[in-house]
Structure 1
């Protein structure tokens, strides 16, 4: 289990000067938002037939994206830029949140249910 799996999603801000590069390892489901500037983005390389292909895109200010391809992403700032990253919570954190939501929903369905009566000593539980 990773320590990342227990922490809630937090927004990390990366500030880049013009020409500066940034490389990050991202997981599927992480969210990106370019708050300021322009970036040249390179998602992880992929095989296309028998060739390795790495697409390149220019992101304008305000661009938002959800990571579909996990791996190493690279950016180069075409102008001064501010990139915000919100990590997707790990599997254990999502399972705990799902369990808590399920339990809350079960309790909500029976709000006035009386407490279970105890069985007298020496008898089978009810």
Structure 2
């Protein structure tokens, strides 16, 4: 596992001028937030019956959501816009958090259970 897999994902801000286009490869679970302006959003193409369909939506300021369709997303700014992207944590980081969190829950002290006394260094606990 690479050390970068354990760092929390950072938010990335994209600023677009009116008429400018942006294309990004997104994964399912990434979060988007339109902080300012209006955008025309085009999610990845989908099959509808036997035809390829590319939906189009207009996002207004304050629009936010989680990406459900992985693939290439495209936006065109209808006015000056600021789009913020929060990438989903990589699989390694999610699995590591799940493992550590699960271990912490398993070894948690239950009410009424005495605390474990740590053994001195070099002595095996009984």
Q: Please classify the TM superposition score into its range, dividing by the shorter chain length.
A: 0.7 to 0.9
Match of 1:112 in 2: 115
What RMSD, in angstroms, separates the aligned Cα atoms of the two structures? 2.2
Match of 2:85 in 1: 85
Taking the aligned partners of 1:114 and 1:42, their CA distance within structure 2 comes to 59
Secondary structure of 1:14 counterpart: strand
Match of 1:123 in 2: none
Q: Give the TM-score normalised by structure 2.
A: 0.85
Q: In terms of Rg, which structure is larger? A: 1
Measure how far apart 1:44 and its partner are.
Answer: 0.2
Taking the aligned partners of 1:11 and 1:5, their CA distance within structure 2 comes to 16
Query: Equivalences for 1:34-73 in 2 at 5 Å?
Result: 34-73=34-73
Taking the aligned partners of 2:46 and 2:3, their CA distance within structure 1 comes to 29
Measure how far apart 1:2 and its partner are.
Answer: 7.6
Match of 2:22 in 1: 22
Match of 1:33 in 2: 33
The answer for unaligned runs of 5 or more in structure 1 is 120-125
Instruction: Note closer, same or farther for the CA distance 1:37–1:47 as it changes in structure 2 (3 Å cut).
Output: same
Instruction: Note closer, same or farther for the CA distance 1:118–1:11 as it changes in structure 2 (3 Å cut).
Output: closer
**Structure 1 stretch displaced more, 93-102 or 34-43:** 93-102
